[in-house]
A and B are shown apart, each in its own frame.
Chain A
């Protein structure tokens, strides 16, 4: 496997973007990345693209925007792994360069929730769950049970179950979720691309928000954003050939593992995932990615992490599964301020997915943010310490797909 570097990053402004269509949104991130890399569009040899399938009311947006990003006459592949997709697209782009197939590859992922009456729901999650629901109604699910399922609502629902499981497992309180959500909004206020910004937000501010279903408050829930994120990969030889002199971020190890689905399975069947906060897939992905990156002690060797956590309990849960804290103890680190921007182990200094969630974009955005921290280009939310290694994580599916990428300031030797 060849060494691969991220030589350019681009993000569209995330938020409610009714001023552009999907193709224009994707192009915004792509051209920002091309400009950042300081290369010409002709230098790009192949494209890896992807979003959450069916969201934003367009089943195959890649058909539309290929022309907008200069992909005509070049190889282009789309990946779809649900919420994890941004991470998977980032991996695909990396595979294409690491394998020696291409020297310069652009990877972009995006989402546009606002082209939908209830963001994500009408054209998104409802169609994902449609086949399950229609079968359950066929075997006699009544409208009361249907409404009860909808109480916690779709992705927030399965995450509410997971939050309850995490509480049962770790003994943390709802106040710890408030702290994590407040941190996300505070950090987002320092990130010009973020959606939900709230300078000086405190846990008390979050605690005042409405309880949707205990233990999940309105203040815990991520927004439904529009946005796109993009990275450009180059092989070690191409970095030299293109004359890239700015700092780049080297990919040191990647891994992606699928776990068994949870939430009674996709077709209302029992699964062996009794506790939704187990996240075996995240543990396996992290272990393999660290092994490939030569990381032995993640807590010591990793300097900053961007975790895919649309809901605050997930930042706690995943930071344990990724090996930064012991199982069930992350909330103690949050109490001590360890995960703040200026803490000993900053997590999601960008504000993370809890503050900005354009689903397809979110996984890629973690890679972008981790790379920016390594390059020292995160501006106001740059962590005030040397960043040698950073981790980007993505999660999705029926709680079961995980991707982990370890980035570093020097190539692997």
Chain B
């Protein structure tokens, strides 16, 4: 008979440490380290495939379309467009539980906030990125909307420096 949750008993617990940061896993050598290092200067650096001209952000070391190694690096625009988007309901305790941790209870997410996730393509790039869309109301989000990168007040060269994107300026005829 299979072990079943109804008869669940706690197994023995052992304290210990496992330094998972010590391993490479799926990450090619160094490629994201340099990408995030440039966040310190609020720069988004992608890679350019000389075979097809595609610019990848985040950077990529192999072009899957041309099957060739990419070595060229290029800085890309801080502006981009919203290709598609998701909107969360107002967040509550007990709704976002990841690996047993309640993200609202733990303070990672604020109670009552609504998170908009946008699939953004930065100008001149050939890939899309999922980023939080900040400083916008869900009802104001539109496909193709122009957005710009939002950076942390103090950038320290970490992935978390890029907070997301926000609506860019609008030019209106008056």
Interface string of B89-133 (1 = CB under 8 A from A): 100000010110001001011000001010101000111111010
Q: How far is the CA of A260 from the CA of B126 in the complex (A)?
A: 13
Known: A145-B160, A168-B84. A270 touches B129 (CB 8 A): yes
- Residue of A130, A146, A215, A272 near B108 (CB, 8 A) is A146
Q: Which of A19-27, A93-101, A232-240, A339-347 contacts B (4 or more CB under 8 A)?
A: A19-27
Asked if B172 CB lies within 8 Å of chain A CBs, one says no
Determine if B4 and A18 form an interchain contact, defined as CB atoms under 8 angstroms apart.
Answer: yes
Give B162's nearest chain A residue, CB to CB. Answer: A145
Q: Are A164 and B160 in contact (CB under 8 A)?
A: no
Partner of A264, one of B3, B46, B86, B129: B129
Q: Are B84 and A147 in contact (CB under 8 A)?
A: no
> B136 at the A/B interface (Cβ < 8 Å)?
no
Chain B residues in 8 Å Cβ range of A136? 159
Interface digits, A270-308 against B, CB 8 Å rule (1 contact, 0 not)? Answer: 111111000000000000000000000000000000000
Asked if A245 is at the interface of the complex by the 8 Å CB criterion, the answer is no
| Residue numbers in A under 8 Å from B60 (CB-CB) | 265, 269-271
Q: How far is the CB of A141 from chain B (nearest CB, A)?
A: 5
Q: Select from chain B the residue with minimum beta-carbon distance to A267.
A: B26
Asked if A272 meets B65 with Cβ closer than 8 Å, knowing A18-B2, A144-B108, A161-B84, the reply is yes
Q: Which of B1, B3, B31, B64 contacts A271 (CB 8 A)?
A: B64
* Interchain nearest-CB distance for A254 vs B (Å): 24
Do A114 and B4 touch across chains, with their CB atoms under 8 A apart? yes
What range describes how many residues of B lie at the interface? 35 or more
Q: Does A59 contact B (CB under 8 A)?
A: no
One of A22, A150, A152, A268 near B103 (C-beta < 8 A)? A150
Q: A139-B32, A168-B84 are in contact. Are A270 and B58 (CB under 8 A)?
A: yes
The smallest beta-carbon distance between A239 and chain B, in angstroms, is 37
| Of the residues B56, B65, B103, B106, contact of A269 by C-beta under 8 Å | B56
Q: Are B88 and A168 in contact (CB under 8 A)?
A: no
Decide: A165 near B103, CB < 8 A? Known: A148-B132, A271-B56: no
- List chain A residues, Cβ under 8 A from B4: 18, 114-115
On whether the beta carbons of B160 and A140 are closer than 8 Å, the reply is yes
Task: Determine if A165 and B83 form an interchain contact, defined as CB atoms under 8 angstroms apart.
Answer: yes
Q: Is the CB of A164 within 8 A of B84?
A: yes
CB distance from B18 to the nearest CB of A (A): 10
CA distance A136 to B158 in the complex (A): 10
Contact of B86 among A17, A152, A210, A270 (CB under 8 A): A152
Contacts of B86 in A (CB 8 A): 152, 160-161, 164, 213-216
B16 at the binding interface (Cβ < 8 Å): no
Known: A134-B23, A148-B109, A164-B86. A112 touches B160 (CB 8 A): no
- Check B83 against A140 for contact (C-beta < 8 Å): no
Interface residue A211 (Cβ < 8 Å from any Cβ of B): yes
Q: Which of B20, B58, B161 contacts A268 (CB 8 A)?
A: B58
B129-A150 in contact (CB<8A): no
B169 in contact (CB, < 8 A) = no
Supposing A115-B2, A141-B160, A269-B58 touch, asked if A147 and B96 sit within 8 A by C-beta, the answer is yes
Distance of B48 from chain A, by nearest CB (Å) = 11
Q: With the chains together, A273 CA to B54 CA distance in Å?
A: 11
Which of B84, B88, B125 has the largest count of A CB atoms less than 10 A from its CB? B84
Interface flag for A209 (CB, 8 Å): no
Let me know if B36 is at the binding interface, CB within 8 A. yes
Task: For B99, list chain A residues within 8 Å (CB).
Answer: 121-122, 126
The reply to whether B159 and A21 form a contact with Cβ atoms under 8 Å apart is no
Docked Cα-Cα span, A261 to B56, in Å, equals 13
Least CB distance, B22 to chain A, in whole angstroms: 9
Does B173 make an interface contact (CB < 8 A)?
no
Q: Are A164 and B88 touching (Cβ within 8 A)?
A: no
Q: Which residue in A137, A167, A210, A274 is a CB contact (below 8 Å) of B127?
A: A274
A125 → chain B closest CB, angstroms: 11
Is B88's CB under 8 angstroms from A20's CB?
Answer: no
Q: Name 17 A/B residue pairs within 8 A (Cβ), A-sorted.
A: A134-B21, A134-B25, A139-B36, A139-B158, A140-B156, A146-B108, A147-B96, A148-B117, A161-B86, A161-B130, A213-B87, A213-B88, A213-B117, A264-B127, A269-B58, A270-B125, A271-B64
- Which residues does A use to contact B, with CB under 8 Å? 17-22, 112, 114-115, 117, 121-122, 126, 130-132, 134-148, 150-152, 160-161, 164-165, 167-168, 210-216, 260-261, 263-275
Given contacts A146-B108, A161-B86, A267-B25, 8 further A-B contacts (CB under 8 A): A20-B1, A148-B115, A161-B84, A215-B86, A260-B65, A264-B58, A265-B60, A268-B32
